[in-house]
Amino acid sequence: MSRQVPFQPGEEELMLELQTEEFQAVDWMLFADTHEEGMEEYRRHAARTRELMETYVSRYGPLIWMDPEWAGPDRGVPWA
């Protein structure tokens, strides 16, 4: 049985903004494959994606579970 972990206040909105920027970065990267003028937009969205990832990690923890010491019931991760 899996348990849903609710979002903390503001987390869902930040995650949505991060996903939107990441999607736009990928989309511009694909466009830039054939249109050199798309590189500036790609760089802008990629930089914003990195900023949002850093913000998310500093507020809510890692986006992926690579560090076994970080996860645990005392950190709000009930399945660890």
Any long-range contacts for 12-20 (C-beta under 8 Å, 24+ apart)? 14/52, 14/55, 14/56, 14/59, 14/60, 15/56, 17/52, 18/49, 18/52, 18/53, 18/56
Q: What is the pLDDT of residue 75?
A: 57
Check residue 3 and give its pLDDT: 39
Q: What is the pLDDT of residues 60-77, one digit of tens each?
A: 888 876 555 555 555 555
Report which of residues 30 and 71 the model is more confident about.
Answer: 30
Tens of pLDDT, residue by residue over 7-23, are 888 999 999 999 999 99
pTM of the model: 0.72
Percent of the chain topping pLDDT 90: 59
